[in-house]
């Protein structure tokens, strides 16, 4: 995206008359053309996607669902990862699970490593977090500082909901930190040739070491 970044898109939809109005326009191109609703942004690659209306509709329906708890955009990802981790922990295979995950990401990590060699270790954090859809589809926000990334833990709340309403999860939040997040990010860092320190919490921090 160019001038209309993912970070300010939500604010812009309100500025233009609200997300629902934008959803209507995106689903009816004739209206957009008749009223020039999108103005200079109508040639933006992001806004020209023909599936954008469906995406906004899905987002609205997700956040409109508040029973038995308020649902969020990343819930399917977090539940799937927690469900997988639950299985591998019960089987005593969490180490192999992480190693396999890092292995499947090696083609991407190799590209990021070239960027690290060219522009420095902070590009490793860039490639691990704000650069990849795997992260901004998972984290509600990513705070960026030189040599540091922080973000709200996406798993704690979801795990609490799973344990309360499903009653079939036995792993604890510390398992998520120690058997998934820390070894996975450490595995990424090793492949990238950078050293990091990881500080889990309600607000997780990953720093260059």
Q: Are strands 143-145 and 203-208 parallel, antiparallel or unpaired?
A: unpaired
Res. 64: pLDDT tops 80: yes
What DSSP element (H or E) covers 35?
Answer: helix 29-35
Res. 30: pLDDT tops 90: no
pLDDT at residue 52, rounded to an integer = 86
In the chain, where are the structural domains located? 9-64, 75-208
Under a CB-based contact definition with an 8 Å cutoff, are residues 181 and 193 in contact?
no
pLDDT at residue 14, rounded to an integer = 46
Res. 34: pLDDT tops 90: no
Q: What is the DSSP-derived secondary structure letter of residue 175?
A: H
For 164-185, what is each residue's pLDDT tens digit?
999 999 999 999 999 999 999 9
Under a CB-based contact definition with an 8 Å cutoff, are residues 28 and 38 in contact?
no
For 129-167, what is each residue's pLDDT tens digit?
998 888 889 999 999 999 999 999 999 999 999 999 999
Q: Taking the complete model, does pTM exceed 0.95, yes or no?
A: no
Res. 40: pLDDT tops 50: yes
Closest CA to 152 of 166, 172, 136, 168: 136
Share of the chain above pLDDT 90, in %: 69
For 66-107, what is each residue's pLDDT tens digit?
999 999 999 999 999 999 999 999 999 999 999 999 999 999
For 113-129, what is each residue's pLDDT tens digit?
999 999 999 999 999 99
Higher pLDDT, 18 or 75: 75
pLDDT at residue 48, rounded to an integer = 79
Contacts of 151 (CB under 8 A, 6+ apart): 129, 139, 140, 141, 142, 143, 203, 204
What is the C-alpha separation between 118 and 158, in angstroms, rounded? 38
What is the C-alpha separation between 175 and 189, in angstroms, rounded? 20
Task: Say how many CA atoms lie within 13 Å of 88 toward its Cβ.
Answer: 19
């Amino acid at each position: 995206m160019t001038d209309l970044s993912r970070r300010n898109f939500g604010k812009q939809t309100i500025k233009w008359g609200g997300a629902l109005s934008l959803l209507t326009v995106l689903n009816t191109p004739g209206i957009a053309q008749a009223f020039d609703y999108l103005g200079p942004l109508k040639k933006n690659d992001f806004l020209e996607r023909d599936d954008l209306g469906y995406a906004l509709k899905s987002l609205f329906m997700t956040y409109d669902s508040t029973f038995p708890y308020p649902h969020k955009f990343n819930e399917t990802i977090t539940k799937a990862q927690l469900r997988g981790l639950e299985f591998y922990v019960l089987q005593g295979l969490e180490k192999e699970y992480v190693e396999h995950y890092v292995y499947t990401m090696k083609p991407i990590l190799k590209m990021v490593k070239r960027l690290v060699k060219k522009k420095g270790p902070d590009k490793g954090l860039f490639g691990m977090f704000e650069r990849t859809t795997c992260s901004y589809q998972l984290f509600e926000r990513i705070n960026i500082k030189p040599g540091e990334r922080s973000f709200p833990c996406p798993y704690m709340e979801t795990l609490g909901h799973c344990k309360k309403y499903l009653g079939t999860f036995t792993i604890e939040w510390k398992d998520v930190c120690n058997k998934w997040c820390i070894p996975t990010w450490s595995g990424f860092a090793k492949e990238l040739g950078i050293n990091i320190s990881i500080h889990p919490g309600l607000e997780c921090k990953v720093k260059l070491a």
